[in-house]
Structure 1
């Protein structure tokens, strides 16, 4: 999940108790996420309202930092909220995707804050409606009517948000996942965090980039719980298959894929040898033997192949 950031600069920053994550809906059938974000950023001071996020069926836009009070659900709720999220209205056919994206965001916020993934108005996920009933400081009851308009029950909505937040509606069975990496790579990591994996720079400082749930990334080393994928990610955000040829030094019996259009067999496992037989790009082969330096494989054609022309299939 990629999070766009369009942070409001004007409001003061006051720390919240960070006990709840609040869900709203905009109640504007003609609006878009860009309209809502622009309106919030430009008019927060006169409307006396702004939140941390806007979500539609495809995008998440952050407009204020988490853990700071916003003007969204009344004084008591605002002081307790780690983050408040506005759902931008979408059509019925897009609503399931919006709920899934909302849940994935909730899962990320829960991980970052320690707030449990459960519906609880005091310590968990809640809605503007439940806060209105609890504290009686405002009389807004969203997103209940919006959910009903989509033909969903509130219980169905609650259940699906929880499933998405926990990643239960995503097929992340490692035995079913397949990927590729260079022969000398350490393995492949699939992003398993419902909120995606934050990409860190070489100094382990977070960047604005988030690798999406389910995406595969080859990694070349591990360092103090971090994986190098062209940047660093937290190993806890991913499911991993190691390249046993790299880790154990024996590639025999592993499957490789030809990745270039100039892959030729040769009679000896050394550089400068003439090509004998061209292997089709995209074809799969089993490694029968390997050279001592692991730079050439015998793929069962009694010839040697340069491993830079191949990927390991995991």
Structure 2
């Protein structure tokens, strides 16, 4: 991201300092310890909060609107920040930064600012046209880092499932460093240089994503114990949909007068989970929002 160019030298110095501090204090945890800590304590990822940001570009991916190919994982390169602070910063200054991402994650929040049906500017032209992009904020403690990692891994797994993508490290889940190495359009090495502060790495992050991904697909719960209610709404505001009378589930858009109109160029695949953050009633029908102005009849929930 362009904003990071002014921070990269400072970030590198901070990383070196952090490693030296770890050596002196003995506070560094190894990578397996972080994942073990998350899983053994069943640290529950928070729900995704969707607050539409100010990014005014609504361009589809190279395969079209609603067709990302995976997720790029970034870190913010700012010590002591938060998802809310980054949200405010980007919504205020993205024209100057010439950068924007879909979501920010910290130890207590997952804030999504732009529909993942549409591309953003975070990792160079090629990756921007292919991937959802999320940034993890810098935490100061092992517990804070673990909680933010749980939230980040959940967001990535959730998005893979939402768009019916396979979990393939290095292909559908990439770090910004991997993007830089593959396409050479940026020089960033995040989040690797941040992860190393806690003895963590992308291999361990991918392992946690896979753990969550498999559990969410099989049980609707990151730890394999999910329950779906009678309205078809899963844990963490996810609705799994199916049209018993057709091969897809139709979507509607709300018009300015409050009425609904069928979306003609997009629908949901049967038996797929979708994040939903709002509900509306129209003519006795409850609709759940799955994109900026795309809603599904809640009766399709299973």
- TM-score, normalization: structure 1? 0.57
Deviation at 1:195? 7.0
Deviates more, 1:147-156 or 1:70-79: 147-156
- For 1:156 and 1:99, locate their aligned partners in 2 and report how far apart those are by CA, in whole Å: 10
Aligned residues between the structures:
203
Q: SS at 1:85's partner residue?
A: strand
Structure 1 residues 126 and 204: alpha-carbon distance in aligned structure 2, compared to 1, 3 A threshold: farther
- For 2:77 and 2:142, locate their aligned partners in 1 and report how far apart those are by CA, in whole Å: 15
Q: Normalized per residue, which structure has more strand? A: 1
Q: Bigger radius of gyration, 1 or 2? A: 1
Deviation at 1:59? 0.8
- Matched with 2:287 is 205
Deviation at 1:193? 5.8
- Matched with 2:48 is 3
Equivalent in 122, 138, 162 of residue 72 of structure 1: 122
Structure 1 residues 159 and 189: alpha-carbon distance in aligned structure 2, compared to 1, 3 A threshold: farther
Judge conservation of contact 2:47–2:236 (CA < 8 Å) in 1.
Answer: no
- Matched with 2:301 is 234
Deviation at 1:164? 2.1
- For 1:20 and 1:97, locate their aligned partners in 2 and report how far apart those are by CA, in whole Å: 22
> Is 1:84 matched with 2:166?
no
Structure 1 residues 190 and 16: alpha-carbon distance in aligned structure 2, compared to 1, 3 A threshold: closer
Please give the residue correspondences for 1:133-144 in structure 2 after superposition, counting only pairs within 5 Å: 133-144=181-192
Equivalent in 174, 178, 199 of residue 130 of structure 1: 178
Flag structure 1 segments of 5+ consecutive residues without an equivalent.
178-186, 209-223, 227-231, 236-314
Structure 1 residues 118 and 41: alpha-carbon distance in aligned structure 2, compared to 1, 3 A threshold: same
- Matched with 2:162 is 112
Q: SS at 1:205's partner residue?
A: strand
Judge conservation of contact 2:175–2:202 (CA < 8 Å) in 1.
Answer: no
Moved over 6 A (4+): 187-191
Deviation at 1:192? 5.5
Equivalent in 89, 99, 103 of residue 153 of structure 2: 103
- TM-score, normalization: structure 2? 0.59
Please give the residue correspondences for 1:39-54 in structure 2 after superposition, counting only pairs within 5 Å: 39-54=89-104
Equivalent in 77, 80, 90 of residue 30 of structure 1: 80
Instruction: For residues 10-54 of structure 1, give each alpha carbon's deviation from its aligned partner in whole angstroms, at most 9, with x where no partner exists.
Output: 422110131121110001112122211111000000011110000
Structure 1 residues 134 and 155: alpha-carbon distance in aligned structure 2, compared to 1, 3 A threshold: same
Judge conservation of contact 1:148–1:154 (CA < 8 Å) in 2.
Answer: no
Which of the pair has the greater relative contact order for Cα pairs under 8 Å at 6+ separation? 2
CA RMSD of aligned residues (A): 3.1
Please give the residue correspondences for 1:125-274 in structure 2 after superposition, counting only pairs within 5 Å: 125-167=173-215, 170-173=222-225, 196-197=238-239, 198=276, 200-202=279-281, 203-207=285-289, 234-235=301-302
Instruction: For residues 162-189 of structure 1, give each alpha carbon's deviation from its aligned partner in whole angstroms, at most 9, with x where no partner exists.
Output: 2123337844347xx8xxxxxxxxx878
Structure 1 residues 156 and 194: alpha-carbon distance in aligned structure 2, compared to 1, 3 A threshold: farther
- For 2:104 and 2:205, locate their aligned partners in 1 and report how far apart those are by CA, in whole Å: 18
- Matched with 2:272 is none
Q: Normalized per residue, which structure has more helix? A: 2
Structure 1 residues 10 and 106: alpha-carbon distance in aligned structure 2, compared to 1, 3 A threshold: closer
Instruction: For residues 119-166 of structure 1, give each alpha carbon's deviation from its aligned partner in whole angstroms, at most 9, with x where no partner exists.
Output: 133xx1111111000000100010101111112233222211221233
Structure 1 residues 32 and 66: alpha-carbon distance in aligned structure 2, compared to 1, 3 A threshold: same
